[in-house]
Amino acid sequence: KAGVTQTPRYLIKTRGQQVTLSCSPISGHRSVSWYQQTPGQGLQFLFEYFSETQRNKGNFPGRFSGRQFSNSRSEMNVSTLELGDSALYLCASSPETSGRSDEQYFGPGTRLTVT
């Protein structure tokens, strides 16, 4: 079974621009979550989607948004990029075994650099 895929793998943007990152979960997984990983803050939860609905949202400004499509694929968008948004953005999907989504299967991430 194919793993979680994320595109693009690397991205360089300028302050003030916006960016869209894409994630395809493992086939059959309906839960998709997004994380931001930085050396200083570690892994921080951004959002979780299930069946096209945002189920949970982390403590990030409104510039960060996301959505999930009917085929479970997900996108996240960051508008008005700031230098501090430079990070590895990880997408993860979950099989939702017994209603749990804390068993996460991660993609390789998108490395975003804001200049």
Q: Can you give the binding site for other proteins, defined by CB under 8 A?
A: 4, 6, 31, 33, 42-43, 45, 48, 55-58, 90-92, 94, 99-109
Least Cβ distance, residue 107 to other proteins (angstroms): 5
End-to-end CA distance of the chain: 37
Query: What's the min distance (Å) between Cβ of 16 and other proteins?
Result: 28
Half-sphere exposure of 26 (CA within 13 A, CB side): 17
* Sheet order of strands, 19-24 included: 5-7, 19-24, 74-78, 64-68
Closer of 13 and 57 to other proteins (Cβ): 57
Give least dist CB 43 to other proteins, A. Answer: 4
